């Protein structure tokens, strides 16, 4: 008889995984050009951006023209006549549940943003040098003067210009005051950067994800920077037990007006889902002479719906309203199709409307309706009463001679409305009907590219 072999049972315990806290848009600067950043589009309360510009080493304020502004729906930090620093900060204690002390976070904290600077060799953060910084968490809104902070920085005095996660204590005077936590080894220059940073409070672990591209940001929503773009991970808790309620942007620069820093599409952890409706995608496509709009929201809070605004030839009008999803944390898709549009350049913009009637300016898309040969587009009215003129717009993709005539049901030419060149945006024709009795007629445009016909009905 074989000896009995004791059976040993092993129980496997999985370590708890921190939940990813929800994130929302903090600011995308989609508002009119301004010398000040103003208020974030957050709800229920907007947050005021505080701005500062100082001459390096002196604390002397720079002029308002040399500080921070909005230009072309982007936060722009402009160099000026002096070696200096510009920065802007927001107080995140205005967002309910936001972990202003990182150790208190109930899940994984996320920051995501797009940024760029236009100096081929960003030297760093000493006087006269160029350095780009996004401050993730700081004890003070005076980042260089007194901040105990974590930040993403670009700029190195000597060696490769790496993107780094750093900390500094009591402000800083140069990049040598930074304590490196994570370094992406790529030697960067003027590339467009999409960045995502996470902090897991359970194990004090930071992770940096980043992508670069030329000509545009890799991600319109930087939260989508993938796991494959991880640039490093490290544990650090030097400052995570401190109160750090500020985040913001900073540009260290020399005396040259051409040096600029840009920030856009800022997303942050939003445990209470207080921040505005998140439009994750907005697309416009043409189908013949109509435009189809499609957009997706990542989440919604008290969203009544969306106004669709249309701009053409200097005129702005609301052409529709699409009901919203109220409050939801799930992605929601929306569509809207226009009526027939005349050839030319058309701009469409979404206006998000809350249940209380307040509105937020959304993204816009520009679409070009190209004429195919010669286009005759009815402006109205059609049918038309006898004696009243009817308007048409005629356009051609290329300049060419066009003859426009009116014909009866037998094909007889009754009148010539236009005879001359047409091109580009085209022109509007007024067709008189005083000599026409009630019935059906045809408006015909003849050109070297072909013949286009439109039916016209005249009523008594």
* Average pLDDT of the chain to the nearest whole number: 85
Find out whether 193 and 212 touch, Cβ atoms under 8 Å. Answer: yes
- The pLDDT score that the predictor gives to residue 401 is 85
Find out whether 153 and 166 touch, Cβ atoms under 8 Å. Answer: yes
* DSSP-derived 3-state class of residue 104: helix
- What percentage of the chain exceeds 70 in pLDDT? 89
Which has the closest alpha carbon to 94: 145, 49, 53, 52?
49
pLDDT higher at 247 or 433:
247
pLDDT in tens, 372-428: 667 777 767 888 887 888 888 888 766 778 899 999 888 889 999 899 888 766 788
Residues 6+ apart with CB under 8 A from 9: none
Going from the N-terminus, what domains does the chain have, and what CATH number goes with each? Answer: 23-269 (2.60.120.200), 278-369 (2.60.40.10), 374-459 (2.60.40.1930)
- The pLDDT score that the predictor gives to residue 5 is 36
- The pLDDT score that the predictor gives to residue 23 is 84
Cα–Cα distance measured from residue 397 to residue 389, given in angstroms and rounded to the nearest whole number: 26
Which has the closest alpha carbon to 396: 416, 377, 415?
377
Number of Cβ within a 10 Å radius of residue 77: 26
273 — pLDDT class (breaks 50, 70, 90):
low
Cα–Cα distance measured from residue 112 to residue 199, given in angstroms and rounded to the nearest whole number: 12
Structure tokens at 416: 């010539």
Residue 302, class by beta-carbon neighbours within 10 Å (0-12 exposed, 13-18 middle, 19+ buried)?
A: middle
CA 21 to chain centre: 22
Cα–Cα distance measured from residue 91 to residue 89, given in angstroms and rounded to the nearest whole number: 7
14 — pLDDT class (breaks 50, 70, 90):
very low
pLDDT in tens, 338-364: 988 877 889 999 988 888 887 777 788
Which range, 103-107, 125-129, 157-161, 182-186, has the best average confidence (pLDDT)?
A: 182-186
Sign of the C-alpha dihedral computed for residues 278, 28, 292 and 321 taken in this order: positive
pLDDT at 58 over 80: no
pTM: 0.60
pLDDT in tens, 29-56: 988 888 889 999 876 567 999 998 877 6
CA 222 to chain centre: 10
Cα–Cα distance measured from residue 422 to residue 194, given in angstroms and rounded to the nearest whole number: 46
pLDDT at 460 over 80: no
Pairing of strands 450-459, 384-385: parallel
pLDDT higher at 62 or 417:
417
Find out whether 368 and 341 touch, Cβ atoms under 8 Å. Answer: no
pLDDT in tens, 198-242: 999 889 999 999 999 999 999 999 999 999 999 999 999 999 999
Dump the DSSP string for 395-409.
EESS-EEEEEEEE-T
pLDDT at 2 over 70: no
455 — pLDDT class (breaks 50, 70, 90):
confident
């Amino acid at each position: 008889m074989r000896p009995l072999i004791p059976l040993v049972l092993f129980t496997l315990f999985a370590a708890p995984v921190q939940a990813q806290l929800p994130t929302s848009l903090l600011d995308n600067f989609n508002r009119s050009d301004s010398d000040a950043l103003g208020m974030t589009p957050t709800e229920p309360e907007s947050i005021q951006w505080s701005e500062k510009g100082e001459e390096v080493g002196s604390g002397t304020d720079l002029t308002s023209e040399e500080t921070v502004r909005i230009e072309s729906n982007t936060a722009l930090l402009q160099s000026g006549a002096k070696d200096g620093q510009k920065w802007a900060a927001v107080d995140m204690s205005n967002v309910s549940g936001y972990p202003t002390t990182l150790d208190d976070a109930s899940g994984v904290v996320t920051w995501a943003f797009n940024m760029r600077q236009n100096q081929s060799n960003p030297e760093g953060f000493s006087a006269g040098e160029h350095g780009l910084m996004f401050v993730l968490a700081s004890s003070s809104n005076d980042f260089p003067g007194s901040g105990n902070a974590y930040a993403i920085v670009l700029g190195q005095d000597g060696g490769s210009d790496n993107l780094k996660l750093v900390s500094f204590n009591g402000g800083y005077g140069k990049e040598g005051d930074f304590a490196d936590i994570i370094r992406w080894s790529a030697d960067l220059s003027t590339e467009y950067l999409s960045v995502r940073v996470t902090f897991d409070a359970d194990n004090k672990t930071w992770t940096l994800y980043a992508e670069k591209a030329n000509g545009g940001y890799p991600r319109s929503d930087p939260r989508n920077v993938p796991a494959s773009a991880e640039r490093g991970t490290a544990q650090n808790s030097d400052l995570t037990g401190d109160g750090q309620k500020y985040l913001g942007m900073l540009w260290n620069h020399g005396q040259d007006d051409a040096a600029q820093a840009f920030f856009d599409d800022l997303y942050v952890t939003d445990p209470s889902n207080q921040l505005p409706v998140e439009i994750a995608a907005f697309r416009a496509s043409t189908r013949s002479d109509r435009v189809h709009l499609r957009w997706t929201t990542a989440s919604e809070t008290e969203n009544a719906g969306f106004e669709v605004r249309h701009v053409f030839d200097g005129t702005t009008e609301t052409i529709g309203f699409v009901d919203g999803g109220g409050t939801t944390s799930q992605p929601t898709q929306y569509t809207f199709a226009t009526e027939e549009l005349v050839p030319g350049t058309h701009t469409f913009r979404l206006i998000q409307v809350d249940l209380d009637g307040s509105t937020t300016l959304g993204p816009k898309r520009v679409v070009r309706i190209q004429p195919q040969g010669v286009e005759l587009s009815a402006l109205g009215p059609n049918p038309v009463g006898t004696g009243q003129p009817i308007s048409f717009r005629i356009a051609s993709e290329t300049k060419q001679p066009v003859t426009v005539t009116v014909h009866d049901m037998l094909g007889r030419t009754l009148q010539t409305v236009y005879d001359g060149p047409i091109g580009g945006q085209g022109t509007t024709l007024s067709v008189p009907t005083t000599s026409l009795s009630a019935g059906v007629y045809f408006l015909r445009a003849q050109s070297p590219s072909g013949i286009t016909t439109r039916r016209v009905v005249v009523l008594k």
